[in-house]
A = this chain, B = another copy of it.
Amino acid sequence: MNKHGGYFGNKKEVIDFSININPIGISNEVKNVIVKSLDHIGRYPEIDGMTAKKSIAEYEAAHVDHLILGNGAAELIYLYARALKPKKVLIIQPTFNEYKRAFKVVGSEIYECIMDKANDFLMDTHKIIDAIKEIKPDVLVFCNPNNPTGRYTSRQDFQPIVEALDETNASIFIDESFIDFSGLPSYKPYIENQPVFILRSMTKYFAVPGMRLGYGIGNKTIIRKMAAIKEPWTLNCFALNSVDALIHDKDYILRTKQWFETEKRWMYESLKKIKNLHVIESHTNFFLCQLLNHTSKEIQEKILQEDIYIRTCEDFTGLDDTYIRLAVKEREDNVKLIPCLEYALMI
Contact = CB atoms under 8 A, between A and B. Distances in A.
Interface of A: 1-6, 8, 16, 19, 21, 25-26, 31, 34-35, 37-38, 40-48, 71-72, 74-75, 78, 82, 98, 102, 105, 207-212, 227, 229-234, 236-239
B231 A210 contact: no
B42 A234 contact: no
17 contacts: A1-B48, A2-B232, A3-B47, A4-B47, A5-B45, A5-B232, A26-B38, A41-B209, A43-B210, A45-B210, A71-B234, A72-B233, A72-B234, A74-B232, A209-B233, A210-B236, A210-B238
Number of copies: 2
Nearest to A79: B231
Interface residues of chain A: helix, strand, loop or mixed (majority): loop
Contacts of A105: 82, 229
A82 B105 CA distance: 9
Contacts of A26: 38, 41-42
Contacts of A5: 44-47, 232-233
Top 9 A-B pairs ranked by shortest CB distance?
A210-B237, A5-B44, A41-B210, A212-B236, A44-B209, A105-B229, A78-B231, A42-B207, A5-B47
Contact of A41 (B75, B211, B232): B211
Most buried by B among A16, A34, A44, A45: A44
